[in-house]
Structure 1
Amino acid sequence: MKFKNHILVGVLLMVNVFVFAQYGKQKKADILFNKFSFVKAANEYRELIENNYNKDYATRRLADCYAYLRDPRNAARYYKKAVEQVNVPIEYYYSYAQALRGIKDYKNSRIWLERFKDSGGVINANDFEKDVNFITSVFNAKQQYFLDKVRFNSKFSDFGAFEQNGKIYFASSRDEGVSVKRLYGWNEQPFLDVYVADVGTKRNVDHTAKLKGDVNSIYHDGPVTITKDGNTMYFSRNNIDEHGLSKDKKGISNMKIYRATLRDSIWTDIEDLSINHSEYSTQHPALNKDDSKLYFSSDWPGGFGGSDIYVVDIKADGTLGVPTNLGNVVNTKKSEGFPFINNEGTLFFSSDGHPGLGLLDIFGTIQGENDEFVDVINLGIPINSNKDDFSFSMNPNGITGYFASNRTGGRGDDDIYAYHRVPTLQVEGIVSDAINTKPIANSIITLFNDKEEQIAYMVTDENGFYQINIDRNQDYKIVGSQIKYIDDYRTFTSKYLQTELTTITANLLLNPVQDVIKLAELNTIYFDYDKHNIRKDAALELDKIVSLMQNDYPDMVIRIESHTDSRGELSYNDKLSIDRANSTYEYLISKGINPSRITEHEGFGERRLTNGCEDGAKCEEKDHQLNRRTQFIVVKME
C-alpha cells in the first residue's frame, strides 16, 4: 500500500516539475524577445503552445515575433487567434489590422482598425490610407526608450560612447587646457581624441582623461571598441604615415581602422589593418559577442550608396578575412554607419537612407531563421529626432546604453545621451492547492491598486498559471479565488525596481473549504486495546465513508491518521498505530475506493493524545479508548 502512496506522490512531483519547467521556458522566451532575438523566442513560444502552457499569452507573443520577423502571413494567423481571446489587450486589434495590411487584406484591416478605435484606441488620421510598414507600426506602438542625463558632455563634439568594465570610452574634440590646440579645418574644432572616464561620473572630463598610450594622435582618433577580455582595441583614425596626414587623389585624408594592444595598462603596438585603403574610408569598428567578427562602415566602390556596412572574420591569429557587404536590406543608396552588435547578435546602425524622423536615424535589424537580415526598425522617439542621431551602443544587460545626437537642447555640437529601456512589467504566478500542491485551473485572479480599485481580472489556465501586465511605481494586491477554496491574496509593489526586472512572481495557495456537515459524517473509529482489526462498530462508520465518497462526493480526497493510547513502549505504539492506519486503508480499498483518493495513511503512536491520559496518569478505560482511534481529514472537497 505504501508503494501506491509513493506512486501518487511521484505523480504530484512530476506534475510540479512539468509546470515549473514550462514556467522557466516562458521566462527564457521573454528574455529572448526583449533582446530582439525573435527567431529563438518564437521557437520557445511555439513549444509553450504545443505543451498547452499559458497558451493565450504565448500565442500573442508568437504573433508579435512573426510581425517583427516581417512575416505578415504568420503574424496575421496568430493575431487572429489572439483577438479571439477573452480580455485580450486592445492593442492586438491594431496589430492584427497592420498584419492584415501586410498581406493586402485591406478590407478586414479597416474593420479591425475601426474596432480598435471603438474600443478606445487612438488612430492617426492616415492609418487607414497609408501603406505603412506594419512592423514599425507595431514596434512603435508604445515608447520603450527613456533618456538619462550624461554630465560630462562639452561644448564641442562628443560621441561614440562605449561602456566596459565600469569605464566609458568616447571620442571628443574637447581639447581644452593644453597649450597647443590643433583645429580641424572642416568645422574649426579641435581634432577628436579618445577619452575614458568612470561610468556615472559627474565631474568635468578634461584632457587628463585622455586614453593613455599611443591611440591618440594629433589628428582624428575614435570611436573605439574593445574585446571582451579588455586586451585589444579597434579604433578609427585618420590615415597617417611618418610624414603626417596621408591624402588620397582628391586631397582628402581618409579614415582607417587600427588595432591596439593593452600592455602594462598602456594602449600600444598600433597595427594598420588589411581592410584599409588609402583611397577610401574604413571606420566605425564594432565587434560581435565572441569577438570573432569585425563590423565597420566604408565608402568602398561597388557598394549600394555613400557608405555601407561590412563584416569581416577575425581569424585565430588575428588576421582578417575578406569583408562582406551586409546587403541591401541594411544598406541603401545613401549612407549607413556606426554599426553596433548587442549580446543577442542584433545589429544596430545609423542611416539617412531608410525612412526616419530626420537626418541620420538609428535602426535595429530583424534577422530570419538563417540569420539573414529581413527588415530594419526605426527605434523611434526619443532615440531619434529631426537631427543626426548616431553611435548607438547597448550594454550587456540589454537595457541601458548610449547614443549621440546634435539635436536641439544639447550642451554642444554632438552630445552623448544615455538611455534605458523599460520592458513590459508583469506579475505572474501559479495558484495551487495548499494541501496537495496541485495547480488549480480556472481560478479567478483579481488585481487591485492601492485604493482597493479593481484594475484587472482573469482566469488561470489549466496549469493554474496567470500573468498580468502592470505599471511600475505602484502598490498592488492580488487575490486568488475558487468556489471550492478559501481566497488567498498577496500584496506587492512595483516601486524601486531595477529596470532589468520584467517579472514579479506572486504565487497563491488556496486552502479547500471544509464543509462542517460533510465532515460530521466522517466519524472517528476506535480500536480495542492492543488490536488493529476493524471492529463491527468501526466497519459501520467506514461503510458510511465509502457511501459518501462513492455516491455523494465522487471527487472527495481524504487523509487517514491513526493513534494509540499511552500504554506500552513508544516504538511499539508507533508500529501499532501504523497497523491501524493500514487496516483502515485496506478496508476502504476493499470496498472500491480508489487508492489515489487517499493521499496518506499514517500512524502517530501516542504522540497526539486527545486528553491527559499520559504515561503514569490515572485514567479509566473509557478515557484510554478515546485515544485508540483513526481520524479522517478531508484534503479535497468537490
Structure 2
Amino acid sequence: MKIKYILSAILVLVVLKGSAQKASQNKADKEYTQYAYIDAIETYEKVAEKGYKNEEMFQRLGNAYYFNGELIKAAKWYDALFAMNAEQEPEYYYRYAQTLKATEDYPKADKTLETFNKKIKTDKRGILFENNKNYLEQIKANSGRFEIANAGINSTQTDYGSTFYNNKVIFASARDTGGIAKKTFKWTNKSFTNLYSAELKADGTLGKPERFEKKINSKFNESTPVFTKDGKTMYFTRNNYLDGKRGKDDQKITLLKLYKAEFLNGKWINITELPFNSDRYSTAHPALSVDEKKLYFASDMPGTLGQSDLYSVTINSDGSFDTPKNLGAAINTEGRETFPFISADNELYFASDGRPGLGGLDVFVVTINNNDSFPEVQNIGAPINSNKDDFAFIINNETKEGFFSSNREGGIGNDDIYKLTETRKLLCEQKLKAIVVDQENNKVLDNAKITLLDEEFKIIDEVVTGVDGSYSFTVNCNATYHVRAAKQDYETKEIPVIIKAETGEKSLTIVLEKRIKTIGVGTDLAKTLNIPIIYFDLDKSYIRKDAAFELEKILAVMKQYPKLKIDVRSHTDSRQTAAYNIALSNRRAKATIQWLIKNGIAPNRLTGTGYGESQLRNNCSDGVDCTESEHQLNRRSEFIIIAME
C-alpha cells in the first residue's frame, strides 16, 4: 500500500449527481382583450375538453404545462397522449414518468421509466464498462497529447501531490522525515510525508527541494496543499493532528483532515481545521475553483457513493463554509475518486479507479458547466495514464506545462512526480452554434432562453440569446443532446441533436412559432391555427372526423370573438370536370358552414364559395400523374376573415 492511499484513506472524491432541474418558460398570462390575438394553447385546450383526440395536440398541451413546472396538469394530457398512442419518442416517456411521480403514482412511473431506459439503452445503475466497451479505443484517441519527463526532484521515498505557489512548486515527500527518531506510519511502515518547496525556473526545470514552513509540517502526514492567488491563504491535508493533540476515530485510527493557514508577516500562522471535518471520516486533497469561491476535496464522509468521492463546498464572503455537496454520480463511482484539480479553463481533473482505464488510478477530465453540472467525463489517455497509479494532475493553462504523480515502472521511489507539457487539447472538440428565428418572418429572436439537456433530459447549461439571436455551447463529441428554446409569446420547442465523433462545429436553427398570433381582415385562420387542410374524401362533401377536429379550432375562435365573420373557401382536386368540381366545392363550402351553424355560429357570420379546381396547391392538373396524397392536398377549405366588428 502506498502513501497516496493512506492520504486518500479511501479518499476518492465525489461527483455531484446531476439533478434534473425544472425547465420553465414565461407564462403568457396577459389577457388579450383586442381581437388581434389568439392563444393557440387556449384554443387547443378548449377543443380537447370537448373530447376531440389528436396526438400533436396532446403533446403540445402536455409540454406547455411540463415546461412551466405544472406537472399534475401535464400528467392529464400526457395520460391522454399515451392512451391514444403508446409508442412515443423517448423524451415523452421521461416527462410522463416525472408527471406521474407528481401525482404519487409511483408504480406506474417506475414502469414508464423502465420503458424509457429500454428505448434509450441507458441505465445509470449499470456499470460504466457496459456502456463503454470500446473504452480502449476512446483512450487511444485521447492519447499522445502530452510529453512527459521526470520532474528532477524525486527521492527514493515517496514524492507526489504537487501544486503551484508563486514561482515555486510545493509537493509532499517522505525523503528525510526519519532520522534517529524515525517516525513511520503503521499502516505502511514508511516515513510520514511533509511539504517541500522547489523553485520553478524560467526554463521549466525545478530547483533543489527545501522543507516548507515548519509551522505547517508536523510529525504526521502533510500533503496536497492549494494556495489562493494572492498567496495569503492555503488549504492542505494533514492527519488529524492540531496543537499537539491527535484525534482518532472509534477504531483508534488517525484519519485525514483539511486545514487552513494564513500568511502574515512572512510566516504561515493561524492553522485551523475546516468545520466540516470529523474524527470519523477523512477529508483530503483540496482544490480551489477558478473564482476561489468553492473548495473541492475528496472524502469518505456519510453520503459517499463509493470508497471515496469528490465534494465541493462554497466559501462564503466572511470566510465561513456552507455544507459540502457530493459531486454525484456524474463523477463518482463505487470505486475511488480523488485528487481534484481545477484548471483556469474551468476543467476538473481527477483520479479514479472506478472508470474504464488502463489500470490502477487513471486521470480523467470534465468541464464544469455554468450551473455546476458535468458533461461526459473523458480519460486523458497515455502517456499520463499507465497500467499503474496515475494521479495528482495539475497544469498551467498559459504555459501548457504542469506535473502529475505516478508509481509507474522506471521511477525512483514509491511514487514520483513527472513534468508534463500539453501539445494539443483533447482530439475531439465540438461547438454547437445556432440561432433562433421567428417562423413567420424568419427574423432572429433575442432574449430567448436556450437550455441544453443531455440524452436523459437533465439540464446541462442555459443561455439567453443576444440581439443577433445566436447562442453556442461547448459539447462532447459522439453524444446526443436536446436543445430547448423558450420565449414569451412563442411555443416552446425542443430539438434532438447528435454530435459527431470528430472535431468541429454543428450549426442549428430553431424556428419558434408564435403562441399569440396576430389576425385581421384577410387572415386565413387555417394557416394561423396550423390547420393545413380540411380533408374531404374523393367526390364527397361530408365532414370527416379528422376535419371535425380541425373545425373545432375555428369554432373556438369564432366563439371567443363573436363579431368575427369568415368566408369559407372550398377547393377540389382536378379529377372530374371543371363544372362538376365547382358544384362539388360549393357543396363542401355549404357543408362546412352548416357544421359551424349547427355548433352555435350565427348564419350571418358565415359566407362561402366553391372554387373547384381553379386554385390547385400543386401541379396535379388534368393529365398529370399524381399520388392520392398529392391530390388530397388540393381538397381543402380556407377560412378568410372578412370582418372583425
Common fold: TM-score over 0.5: no
For Structure 1 versus Structure 2, the TM-score category normalised by the shorter chain is 0.3 to 0.5
Q: Which structure would you say has the larger Rg? A: 1
* Larger helix fraction of residues: 1
TM-score, normalized by length of structure 2?
0.44
TM-score, normalized by length of structure 1?
0.44
Taking CA–CA contacts closer than 8 Å with sequence separation of 6 or more, which of the two structures ends up with the larger relative contact order? 2
